[in-house]
Amino acid sequence: MEQEFDAKLKIQNNNSANNTQRSKSFAFRAPQENFTIQDFELGKIYGVGSYSKVVRAKKKDTSNVYALKIMDKKFITKENKTAYVKLERIVLDQLDHPGVVRLFFTFQDSFSLYMALESCEGGELFDQITRKGRLSEDEARFYAAEVVDALEYIHSMGLIHRDIKPENLLLTSDGHFKIADFGSVKPMEDSRITVLPNAASDDKACTFVGTAAYVPPEVLNSSPATFGNDLWALGCTLYQMLSGTSPFKDASEWLMFQRIIARDIRFPNYFSNEARDLIDQLLDIDPSRRPGAGPDGYASLKNHPFFSGIDWENLRTQTPPRLAMEPKAPSTHSSGDEQDPSWNPSHIGDGSVRPNEGNGGAPSTSEAGSVTRLASIDSFDSKWKQFLDPGESVLMISMVKKIQKLTNKKVQLILTNKPKLIYVDPSKLVVKGNIIWSDNPNDLSIQVTSPSQFKICTPKKVMLFEDAKNRAQHWKKAIEALQNR
């Protein structure tokens, strides 16, 4: 797919001699390398998307650590996402700002495309909010200022991100912000980014993209995308920093959309007047009136009283707020690069071993190879295979507590690609519950109540589970990714 992309790029450049943006010698800053997945030690999972996973990966020969985005070629082709992937690659290659994650190189194999991105060891803003409950106003001010700084650059390049949210705002190990996930990016007509016709996000500027809780009303009304879309999402994100929850959160997406359209905002009484005023302006129904979208550009946003005291020129050299670090679960491993036991690598890459490495007699193809790799997952051994159909693979598996009013029972919770969601009695090896699958979030939804606890909600009942290894958010992302596949 990527060779085809490069070929089309050259053809397009040669056919566009009059277009100053497209030179005949377009060269990627981030090269396509001849690596394989075997060149990396894969660690914990950073995030799960509809057709991708992002995993911590250490290059074996250099020990350099990356956030490796692994994309399923078959799904991309089936769902007509090729143009989105190409656009994300082109955009990330050309962006150069300390507030935007950097793309270092790409490679591919028979099954997957890989993008080696800058690793942000501080995690997501969402994690910071979850661990702290809510941020102080000083913390929120600094973080919001760094997002504003990066957004101003992105907009100056003629790009709309279209999926600004706490999960896509990543923190470096020293606590500075970077915007990630440009899979929904939309170039404007006067964009300074080289964009080709075969790499476009969509045919219509008003196509619905993004995440429900942060979608502005004009998108719900099918209006064309503008820079104001990102500024609305910034307002929602600042509200969430200060309160711990998104401003339009409700029991279902439909109810959430009704609140967004009605602009039903309820401010906690502990919000300062400055914070309330800025959020109120960012959540203006008219996108052109939002600070940062008007004729004076970002000046009105950066000069707002909420940002009083921010040194915009030296923002990235300032000392950021102290991070709330992830609790360390007890482990028998000493390596910081151990594989996240909730992640199934069996579908990643072609699983091949290079001829000069051998396989030590272990099966490496077909079902046997898959089971060999699955055996490395926490709690997964041959006894769980009996609950899988032929060709079915595990996406998430964990020993969890099923919390009830009178008793708490340990069960093995298993999510498969069928999709299937079951929990098994680990001592009797019998299925205790088969949660009826639905792609409709009204019939199956996940609510994270803490890093370790999450609710699986169906029309008939609500089940509360506790994952001792704090993977509640991973379960939510994995299940929602399957619903959006």
For tokens 């502990």, the residue is 270
Residue type, 133: G
φ, ψ for residue 372 (rounded to 5)?
Answer: -60, -45
Indicate if 381 belongs to the active site: no
Give the H/E segment covering residue 154: helix 137-156
Residue type, 288: S
- Distance CA(119)–CA(64), nearest Å, equals 10
Contact 62, 42 (CB under 8 A): no
Residue 271: name the closest of 143, 146, 141, 127 by CA: 141
Torsion sign (Cα): 377, 383, 386, 387: negative
Annotated catalytic residue within 163, 230, 284, 467: 163
User: 396 to each of 46, 237, 422, how far by Cα in Å?
Assistant: 14, 29, 11
- What the block records as the tokens of 403 is 């919390």
SS3 of residue 117 by DSSP: strand
- What the block records as the tokens of 62 is 């250099």
- What the block records as the tokens of 235 is 């307002």
Tell me the β-bridge partners of 357: none
Residue type, 136: S
Catalytic residues: 163
